[in-house]
Every structure is written in C-alpha cells, then in structure tokens.
Amino acid sequence: MMLAGLGILPPNTEVAEFAKYLVAERVMPGPELSGDAIHMAMAVVHELDFLLTWNQKHLANPRKRTHLLIVCARAGLRMPTIVTPDLMNLEG
C-alpha cells in the first residue's frame, strides 16, 4: 500500500500545449498527447520534484537532459529530477 493516498494528476490545456512544444522542439517524439511527451509534460507542468521511469531511450536519456533543461527554461518551467529504479537493489 505504498501508493495509498496518492492522487492522479489531471491533464489540462497547459499540459497538452507543453507536450506539443516538447515534440515541436524535438525533445520528445510524437505523438504529442500520448507516450513520452505527455508524461514529461505532466511532470513539468504539475511541478513534480521527481519523475521515476524505466524509459531510458527518451525520458531518462542523459543526452536529452541539457536540451530538456533549455526548453523548460524557455517556457519558464522547472524540469523534475529524472530517476530510474536501480535493478541491483531490487535483486536478492
């Protein structure tokens, strides 16, 4: 029950517009309103401190970090810290 009491973030116009912006700026692949772009937009717009993901191709890609920081700064938003689970700690 670690997730008990956690709410679901609401999608809204600002999230959709930022997801479109992420795709237009080539930070995230399309489609804009599903997949990686919408996940990142939800985290940024809702001002999350962390985004936990298994996705190292787009979301937790170190080569995209600087680009994402710049795009967020241009939009006046803060990028969350992107983290991945450590498989070594899950074994055993």
pTM of the model: 0.83
| Among 63, 58, 59, residue whose Cα is nearest residue 82 | 59
Q: Which two tokens stand for residue 12?
A: 């809204």
Per-residue pLDDT of the chain (92 residues; tens, 9 = 90+): 667 888 888 889 999 999 999 999 999 998 888 889 999 999 999 999 999 888 888 888 888 889 999 999 999 999 999 988 874 455 54
pLDDT at 88: 43
pLDDT given for residue 13 in this prediction: 96
Q: What are the beta bridge partners of residue 82?
A: 51
